[in-house]
Homo-oligomer: A and B are copies of this chain.
Amino acid sequence: MEGYGLFLVLLVSALLLGFLSVLFALVWVFHYREGLSWDGGSAEFNWHPVLIITGFIFIQGIAIIVYRLPWTWKCSKLLIKFIHAGLNTIAMILAIVSLVAVFDFHNAKNIPNMYSLHSWIGLTAVIFYTLQLVLGFAVFLLPFAPVSLRASLMPIHIYSGLLIFATVIATALMGFTEKLIFALKTPAPAYSTSPPEAIFVNTLGLLVVIFGALILWMATRPHWKRPPEQNSKIQQPNGGTPEGTEEESTMTDCSNTDKSDVEFNSEAAARKRNLKLDEGESTYSSSC
């Protein structure tokens, strides 16, 4: 893998930032706020930032780059697809539970639902995320969609995924802003006086933005793409695919050492193709 060292540095940085963000969310609700419970009060609301940061930001971010981890390139593509879909499903469930916590808290306190821009964009993101997951499952995991459909939908799937991820982070930033303004007012020191909680949550906002920036960088470098499988079944003349996707018929898990040489050669060839693409990009870039 070209630039393996840099990839590792960025991956470790992203993981640290992700863990740190979750830790910051927990410190925020336990040290500065009312902790966590499910009683219709503020401690129920607090599940909202904790679950969004854990699931909808950290886990979603990892789900996005799981194909890019070079040590998974010897594994079956189907297995990685299941991990990608599984992580996104966990993220979706946590996001939905976090929404229930907010609606429950609002209803208990007679606060209207869905009035803020944060709620408009946040709910839209959850709906699109669910649609993306269902569509991704139907097209890329189930064995019925023809290769031509998969190929034409893949750029949209990738773009939508990254756009939703960025939108979720933007929504979280609006959420931090709302919560700090509402929570930090008389008799508490106002947000505008920069009490420790304000500095702490602003810092959490920065952590989340940098985490998102790292994930987006890793996810969009062409030379860090998972190399395509070398399997003649991919190129079906009628654009159709038999039951079972192309890879699972030849590679089913990561533990089969007998096939490692073949796979290594496939990867080497695939990397070579990827590099050719990159060179094309460089040629283009050099005229800019």
- Interface residues of chain A, those whose CB is within 8 Å of chain B, are 77, 81, 111-112, 115-118, 120-121, 140, 147-148, 150-151, 154-155, 159, 163, 166-167, 169-171, 173-174, 176-178, 180-182, 191-194, 198, 201-202, 205-206, 209, 213, 216-217, 220-221, 225, 228-229, 231, 234-235, 246-247, 273-274, 276-277, 280-288
- Mind listing 28 A-B residue pairs with CB under 8 Å? A81-B288, A115-B192, A115-B198, A116-B180, A116-B192, A117-B173, A117-B176, A117-B180, A117-B201, A121-B173, A121-B206, A148-B286, A150-B285, A150-B288, A151-B286, A154-B286, A155-B281, A155-B285, A159-B220, A167-B209, A178-B181, A228-B283, A228-B286, A228-B287, A229-B287, A273-B280, A274-B284, A276-B280
Closest to A182 in B: B181
Interface of A is mostly: helix
In the docked arrangement, what's the CA distance between A198 and B167, Å?
20
Inter-chain contact A216/B163, CB cutoff 8 Å:
yes
Copies in the complex: 2
Closest to A288 in B: B154
Inter-chain contact A118/B177, CB cutoff 8 Å:
yes
Q: A111: which of B155, B192, B235 is its contact (CB, 8 Å)?
A: B192
In the docked arrangement, what's the CA distance between A174 and B206, Å?
13
